[in-house]
Amino acid sequence: MANLKLTYFDFHGGRGEPARLALSIGGIAFEDDRVPFADWERRKADTPFGALPVLEVDGQTVAQSNAINRYVGKLVNLYPSDPWQAAQCDEAMEAVEDITSMMVATLFLPEEEKKAQRQALVEGPIPFYLTQLQQRLEAHGGR
């Protein structure tokens, strides 16, 4: 088995959590390198794109959350081998990435502006995306 090290920020959620969960569900041992926010600027230059998560596999790295999720999904047999099913899985992952990107865009706004923008997301695009995801999953036999 390969040596795995997943590097992401020191909190639950975000773009690193799906890989953490999949590895845990699959019973795959990995080093969970949690980066404190105070250390991020110092460590940022060590990442391929100046961003997290990063997965190290036997000393080689792969970045970008959905690339990591697909790799880990295949490793633990959670990612479909059928091309059509894989496309459906990718569609859902990309929709979730769209939602994540909308939320991340608000992270460092002043408090009042952050609150207003997040309220607008909750009243508009996020329910739309979640409804679409639900309908598409149900149409393809998911629940």
Q: Is 19 in the same domain as 46?
A: yes
Strands in 4-9's sheet, in edge-to-edge order, are: 31-35, 4-9, 54-57, 60-63
- pLDDT at residue 57 in the model: 98
pLDDT at 139: 92
Among 77, 90, 103, 71, CA closest to 25 = 77
Question: Are residues 52 and 28 part of one domain?
Answer: yes
Are both 113 and 60 inside the same structural domain?
Answer: no
**Cβ atoms of 78 and 25 closer than 8 Å:** yes
Kindly report, residue by residue over 43-56, the tens digit of the pLDDT: 999 999 999 999 99
43 and 94: one domain?
no
Contact between residue 47 and residue 16 where contact means Cβ atoms under 8 Å apart: no
Domain carrying residue 55:
4-75
| pLDDT given for residue 143 in this prediction | 65
Q: How many structural domains compose the chain?
A: 2
- Rounded to the nearest angstrom, the gap between the alpha carbon of residue 94 and the centroid of all alpha carbons in its chain is 10
Same domain, 62 and 95: no
Residues 63 and 113 in one domain: no
Gap between the Cα atoms of 85 and 91, Å rounded: 10
Beta bridge pairs of residue 60: 57
Give Cβ neighbours of residue 135 (< 8 Å, ≥ 6 apart).
none
User: What are the DSSP E strand ranges found in 10-124?
Assistant: 31-35, 54-57, 60-63
The amino acid present at 72, given as its one-letter code, is V
DSSP SS3 for 27:
coil
In order along the chain (143 residues), what is the average pLDDT of each group of 10 residues?
95 94 97 97 97 98 98 97 95 95 96 98 97 94 76
